[in-house]
């Protein structure tokens, strides 16, 4: 599934990525948020100078992705650190806005714990994948975090209990980054009767699977058992 990013600039940002350690200037992590209100109010608020807050991206419940601040600039989404629970921050001790990308998700549990809509989830996963590839962000809980990890006192519910962390990590690590040539090999093997179903080509092969492939080949091409 592919998504388009709509540019909707906010004045709430700092130019560039000040060198947090005076040596490198890079994007190290993604911080996920949940907005306090529904779209489009949440978008206009983040574009209002009075808010003094923003994010790089906003994903609506309809699955639309808005970009408010360029990746190479610093958005104001998680600069206040209060009782953090984040080793990456502890090792840097510098304003997290400077080395993170902030993604806001339109409020999804205002009336309970309904969670992201399916299309909102798909858009978020797609965006995560783009950023992970572009900035070589490791897929782990130190580099893809929630706002609550930065401010556990005033933002314990950002992005909230309904945020699908397990599913997101599973999907990000899963088949979404499989290259086409690997899928082509699986398809060819299936056509030839060497494997009987579709497989994730990056999955390790168990002994039974290796033996099954060999037996299939012997039966089909040597013994010619149909």
- List of residues contacting Zn ion (CB under 5 A): 33, 147, 158
Backbone angles phi, psi at 69, to 5 degrees: -135, 140
Nearest to 145 by CA among 31, 28, 35, 56: 31
* 90: three-class secondary structure by DSSP: helix
CB of 165 to Zn ion, least distance (A): 15
**Of 42 and 158, which has the nearer Cβ to Zn ion?**
158
CB of 158 to Zn ion, least distance (A): 3
CA distance 105 to 164: 12
**Of 96 and 195, which has the nearer Cβ to Zn ion?**
96
**Of 98 and 147, which has the nearer Cβ to Zn ion?**
147
CB of 76 to Zn ion, least distance (A): 11
CB of 50 to Zn ion, least distance (A): 18
**Cβ neighbours for 48, distance < 8 A, ≥ 6 positions apart:** none
Prior bond of 159 cis (ω within 30°): yes
| DSSP state at residue 65 | E
**Of 115 and 201, which has the nearer Cβ to Zn ion?**
115
């Amino acid at each position: 599934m592919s998504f388009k990013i709509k540019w909707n600039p906010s004045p709430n940002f700092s130019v560039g990525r000040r060198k947090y350690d005076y040596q490198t200037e890079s994007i190290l992590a993604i911080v996920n948020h949940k907005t306090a209100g529904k779209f489009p109010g949440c978008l206009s608020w983040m574009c209002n100078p009075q808010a003094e807050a923003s994010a790089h991206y906003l994903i609506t419940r309809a699955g639309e992705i808005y970009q408010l601040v360029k990746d190479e600039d610093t958005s104001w989404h998680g600069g206040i650190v209060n009782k953090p629970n984040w080793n990456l921050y502890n090792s840097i001790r510098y304003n997290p806005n400077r080395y993170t990308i902030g993604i806001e998700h339109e409020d999804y549990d205002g009336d309970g714990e309904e969670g992201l809509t399916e299309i909102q989830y798909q858009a978020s996963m797609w965006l995560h994948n783009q950023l992970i590839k572009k900035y070589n962000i490791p897929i782990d809980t130190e580099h893809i975090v929630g706002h609550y990890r930065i401010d556990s006192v005033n933002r314990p519910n950002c992005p909230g209990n309904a945020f699908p962390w397990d599913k997101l990590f599973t999907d990000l690590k899963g088949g979404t980054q499989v290259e086409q040539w690997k899928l082509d090999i699986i398809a060819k093997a299936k056509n030839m009767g060497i494997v009987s179903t579709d497989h994730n080509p990056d999955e390790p092969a168990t002994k039974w699977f290796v033996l099954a492939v060999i037996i299939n080949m012997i039966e089909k091409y040597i013994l010619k058992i149909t």
